[in-house]
Amino acid sequence: MRADQSHAGVPAVTLIHPSGAAITTDPTGLTPAEAVAPSPAGSGCPLRLHGSTPSRSITAEGHLLRQHGEAPAVELPGGVRARVVVSHRLAQSLSADSEGISRDAALHWPGFADGTREVEGVIAAWTATASRNALNSYGENHRRLRAPIAAALTKRRVEAMTPDIEAIVEEALDHLANGPNVADLVPGFALRIPHQVIVRLFGMPADLMGPFYAAAAGLFDTSATAEEMAASMERVGLVLEQLVALRRASPGDDLVSDLIRAADEAEDPLTDDELRDQLMLVIIAGTETTVHAIGNILVHLLTHPAQLDLVVRGEVPLENAVEESLRLQPPAASVPLRFAVRDLTDAESGESFRQGEEILILLAAAGTDPAVHDQPDAFDVRRPTARRHMAFGHGEHFCPGAVLARREIAIAAARFLHRFPDARLATAPEDLTLTQSFISNGHQAIPVQLR
Ligand code: HEM
């Protein structure tokens, strides 16, 4: 997921999504004038969701939607209508219903598989089934595709990776230290970390590293068109195919070898194409989210000196700040899309979902639900409810990379603060621009004065 490019003063959003395609949203559809507002009674016009705009965050939009219930009907960019879930309780309950709620559009979105439903824009990209992966699958098929990923992303693997992560972070800090005193932390620091962690995690051999970096750089090229992005994905796919073939022939102590082993041991082993698609999902799901998570916590701490002080003096563990930052600004504000497998009614709220109805769980709203968190919009590293967020989802699709991601964020933040104790934003906080999206939830740039 990536937010980029300026268009008539309003940035467009290029989204890399797990289906294997890429798409740029129409920035002109994101004007503040079209803010969420109550529909005139009887007009039949749904509310509209815009995502973060230059004047309003997706979190603020979530608060406005909350005035219309726990799951108001909303038109998403691209014209698809969906029930947008804004309460933490209902978001958890629906995410945990692995039988009644599906992520598989081909199976559970009427008219999608046979092409009678026209889907455009961002949602078309996110529901496309060109690549079959754990994220867009359901039931037994989901469990089959996910199991090898989860088996490969163990705590043991994260422990073993920790010295590598520390070295990667130190290298990124050296890069910053050797550059100008005012730097953009997004490309200059945050982006370098998950990108290189993935390469080490995959056990990428030296001769594939060059082609991989060249192709993967295209995935994070902020000026790339949708076509260029799709071509980059194809090139990354080719490198991954070679990597799978190599690790089949000579397994090592790496995620790809573990994935192949676990996939082969399964009752219904994964094909090499399926393995490639799961690796692609890991790259996409594990990179930009982590970039934003690192950027978000640094922005939160640098703009809240008293909170930063608590962490630096060791009065509050840095891990609390990590959770509080994930709660307040989850790097994925939402991960489209889910569908009701059958007619459902939530007993507590009375909200009903008809079979095939589209559901978007707004993770950014769940994390700032006032029913769970006092003063939900405040950044408070001592908040007792900080861990009650859904930044990594919930239920069967819960992020299998959460342990790794938390480790990356904590090491990156701790080492940055240690190396640059006097760092401060080089712009007013209100001049930072959020990624203009209802999916990707970070900053487009984080200019910082390092010393
Ligand atoms: C701060 C960083 C990250 C955040 C915020 C994040 C968040 C998420 C979310 C919200 C989901 C969907 C959960 C749902 O639908 O209920 C997800 C799924 C997933 N994530 Fe992460 N993620 C992060 C890092 C990673 C990393 C580092 C990896 C792997 C290296 C990873 C791999 C995956 C995979 C494979 C899925 C699909 C799981 C499934 O559908 O069963 N993520 N992640």
pLDDT (tens digit per residue) in 205-233: 988 988 888 887 776 665 667 677 778 88
And the tokens for 144?
A: 């089959």
Percent pLDDT > 90 in the chain is 71
**What is the length of the chain?**
451
Q: Which amino acid is at 19?
A: S
Would you say the CB of residue 126 lies under 6 angstroms from ligand 1? no
pLDDT, tens digit (0-9, with 9 covering 90-100), for 309-333:
999 999 999 999 999 999 999 999 9
Cα(316)–Cα(307) distance, integer angstroms:
9
Task: Name the E strands within 217-294.
Answer: none
Give the Cβ contact number of residue 398 at 10 Å: 14
Is the pLDDT score of 77 beyond 90? no
Task: Name the E strands within 282-437.
Answer: 338-340, 344-345, 352-353, 358-361, 424-425
Cα(437)–Cα(12) distance, integer angstroms:
9
Is the pLDDT score of 354 beyond 90? yes
pLDDT for 224 equals: 67
**Burial (Cβ within 10 Å: 0-12, 13-18, ≥19) of residue 312:** middle
Read off the DSSP letter of residue 382: T
Please confirm whether the linkage preceding 337 is cis (ω < 30° from 0).
Answer: yes
Q: Ligand 1: distance of its center to the CA of 181 in Å?
A: 34
Query: Please, are residues 132 and 106 in contact by the beta-carbon 8 Å criterion?
Result: no
pLDDT for 228 equals: 77
Is the pLDDT score of 14 beyond 50? no
Q: Please give the average per-residue pLDDT across 179-188, as a whole number.
A: 97
Q: Please give the average per-residue pLDDT across 347-353, as a whole number.
A: 97
Cα(244)–Cα(259) distance, integer angstroms:
9
Report which protein residue has its CA nearest ligand 1's atom 1.
290
pLDDT for 411 equals: 98
Would you say the CB of residue 295 lies under 6 angstroms from ligand 1? no
Would you say the CB of residue 11 lies under 6 angstroms from ligand 1? no
- Strands ordered across the beta sheet of 22-24: 2-7, 10-16, 22-24
Report which protein residue has its CA nearest ligand 1's atom 13.
393
| Weakest-pLDDT range from 87-101, 200-214, 422-436 | 200-214
Half-sphere exposure of 39 (CA within 13 A, CB side): 14
Q: What is the CATH number of the domain that holds 181?
A: 1.10.630.10
| Weakest-pLDDT range from 32-41, 126-135, 260-269, 370-379 | 32-41
The residue segments making up the domain with residue 235 are 2-449
Q: Please give the average per-residue pLDDT across 25-50, as a whole number.
A: 49
Q: Ligand 1: distance of its center to the CA of 59 in Å?
A: 20
pLDDT for 294 equals: 98
pLDDT, tens digit (0-9, with 9 covering 90-100), for 269-288:
899 999 999 998 998 899 98
pLDDT for 45 equals: 59
Is the pLDDT score of 25 beyond 50? no
Question: What DSSP letter does each residue of 109-148 carry, written as one string?
Answer: STTTTTT-S---HHHHHHH--SS--GGG--HHHHHHHHHH
Is the pLDDT score of 396 beyond 70? yes
Would you say the CB of residue 30 lies under 6 angstroms from ligand 1? no
Please give the mean pLDDT across all residues of the chain: 88
pLDDT for 20 equals: 43
pLDDT for 4 equals: 32
pLDDT bucket at 424, cuts 50 / 70 / 90? very high
Q: Ligand 1: distance of its center to the CA of 336 in Å?
A: 13
Q: How many domains does the chain have?
A: 1
Q: Please give the average per-residue pLDDT across 389-409, as a whole number.
A: 98
pLDDT, tens digit (0-9, with 9 covering 90-100), for 367-390:
999 999 999 999 999 999 999 999
pLDDT for 44 equals: 54
Report which protein residue has its CA nearest ligand 1's atom 40.
135
pLDDT, tens digit (0-9, with 9 covering 90-100), for 248-268:
999 999 999 998 998 888 888
And the tokens for 162?
A: 């920790």
Would you say the CB of residue 393 lies under 6 angstroms from ligand 1? yes
C-alpha closest to that of 57 among 36, 84, 87, 26: 36
Is the pLDDT score of 40 beyond 60? no
C-alpha closest to that of 192 among 202, 180, 184: 184
